[in-house]
Amino acid sequence: MVLLPTGVPVSILRIITQRSEAEVELQRICDRTQDEAILHKESTVREVLQSVRRQGDTALIRYTEEFDQTTLTIETLRVGGAELDAAYQQVSKELLDAIRLATSASANNTFICPGIRPATGWMA
């Protein structure tokens, strides 16, 4: 997390393009999955996803207020077609390829960390 000069926190996304760097990063991620704090966070994420599946936008609005201290409404959640098109145009080909690969791996039950599988249905 980085603070902009205005004091607004933003997350930085780093795109890895070298296989060796990716392997090191994936091992780092795999090594941290046994941490108790991580397991608690995973449980919280699973609960949030289940609530959003069951309660839809109502749960999404509630959790956004709880975690992000931001108030949303059904109207502010709506994204128009032009906005979606504009956002899509800003995504790099590399990121789209990575998203497609991750989606494909998830759909085929291929997991990056050998021996570590997400709980059944956690992304279903």
HSE-CB for 86 with a 13 A CA cutoff = 5
Q: Answer whether residue 91 is part of any domain.
A: no
Q: Which of the two residues, 36 and 68, has the higher pLDDT score?
A: 68
Number of structural domains (the chain) is 1
pLDDT in tens, 90-118: 999 999 888 888 777 666 665 555 555 55
Q: Answer whether residue 46 is part of any domain.
A: yes
Residue with tokens 């709506």: 78
What is the greatest pairwise CA distance in the chain?
A: 45
Q: Answer whether residue 53 is part of any domain.
A: yes
Give the length of the chain: 124
Please tell me whether the overall predicted TM-score, pTM, comes out greater than 0.85 for this model: no
Range of the domain at 64: 36-78
Q: Answer whether residue 28 is part of any domain.
A: no
Residue with tokens 């201290």: 69
